[in-house]
Amino acid sequence: MNIKHLILILVVCMIAATLGCTSLGMNTIPMDKLKAKYADVESKIIEIDGMNIHYKDEGQGPVLILLHGVCASLHTWDGWTERLKGHYRVIRLDIPGFGLTGPAPDPSLYKIDEAVNLFEKIVNEMKLKKFYLAGNSLGGYIAWNYTLKNPNKVEKLILVDSVGFPQPLPGLLAFASNPVIRPFARHIMPRFMFDSAVKQVYGDKSKVTQELKDRYFELAMREGNKGSYVDVFTEMRKLCKNENLSAGIKDLQPPTLIMWGTKDTWIPFKYFENWKKELPTAKFIQYEGAGHTPMEEIPDMTAHDADLFLSGK
């Protein structure tokens, strides 16, 4: 064990000594309490591979499926759903490992091939023949890999600040997936780290409300989610070092829209240029001052642009 590892352990112990269990993220929040706050009449459950996957299915029209990113939940698409459900059948889900869905029974399901296979099973169970597909961050990575495998099912693809190229991990992910920290992170995820992460993914910090911070933290406190976060972060640690991570992007067939916030610090704006080089046939829109989740931060503008792209107006 080197000095860096000793320092990390010391930091964890100091935090544990100064914060209470709740602020330290040592507690779990009962599912009935989380459901009362974060599920509603639109919430549904689909059972796939032993998992009860939480999703919402709203509106009428062409089907649009929305996949959220790391540490998030289907609620990150609330703004889009409210603005688009009048013209589309909007389906969004808590991907395994996050939200009310919770942990996968086997961590291998967080590998990209398994995640794509699982999404394929969900689509088949819902009997969806053709649809539009949008994904943010990790959800974008699942979306474009699914599209590569099923180009005839995805009519149009929208990627919002999507994983696609090798890069350093954001701070929270790098810290919690550190081999020395992992055993602690499965039981301890301090509130201040989540609050900091939420601020990091927004370009305009004034839009980060207490309600928003509460949601990200409280859903992470679902039983099993801290461990699943660590498993996902660990998989992403390996994934983001893979030099072949972008393989296949140039082969995407459906019309594709790439959206990006210029103040994204989790997947910096420079990777937007990589997408332009790899997939020049796509449509590209940048959002000045927005961060890593522009669909949540500026839903009016991004939902409008999505609608224009999907409807062909």
What CA–CA distance (Å, rounded) separates 69 from 157?
A: 16
Specify whether the CB–CB gap between 252 and 153 falls below 8 A: no
pLDDT for residue 13 is more than 50:
no
In this prediction, residue 303 has a pLDDT band, given cuts at 50, 70 and 90, of very high
DSSP output for 249-279: GGG--S-EEEEEETT-TTTTTHHHHHHHHH-
Model confidence over 218-261: pLDDT tens digits?
A: 999 999 999 999 999 999 999 999 999 999 999 999 999 999 99
pLDDT for residue 20 is more than 50:
no
What is the structure's pLDDT at 26? 63
Every domain of the chain and the residues it spans: 3-311
What is the structure's pLDDT at 173? 87
In this prediction, residue 5 has a pLDDT band, given cuts at 50, 70 and 90, of very low
Query: Which DSSP helix (H) or strand (E) runs through 135?
Result: strand 131-136
Give 83's Cβ-side CA count (13 Å radius): 17
Q: What pairs with residue 26 in β-bridges?
A: none
Model confidence over 154-192: pLDDT tens digits?
A: 999 999 999 999 999 988 888 888 888 888 888 888 888
State CA 168 to chain mean position distance: 17
Q: Give the strand order in the sheet containing 283-287.
A: 43-48, 51-58, 89-93, 63-67, 131-136, 154-160, 256-261, 283-287
What is the structure's pLDDT at 182? 84
Model confidence over 58-113: pLDDT tens digits?
A: 999 999 999 999 999 999 999 999 999 999 999 999 999 999 999 999 988 999 99
* Tokens describing residue 95: 């991907």
Specify whether the CB–CB gap between 169 and 237 falls below 8 A: yes
Assigned fold of 3-311: Rossmann fold (3.40.50)
Q: What is the mean pLDDT of residues 42-56?
A: 95
Model confidence over 99-158: pLDDT tens digits?
A: 999 999 998 899 999 999 999 999 999 999 999 999 999 999 999 999 999 999 999 999
What CA–CA distance (Å, rounded) separates 77 from 26?
A: 28
What is the structure's pLDDT at 17? 45
pLDDT for residue 46 is more than 60:
yes
Percent of the chain clearing pLDDT 90 (strictly above): 80
pTM (2 d.p.): 0.91
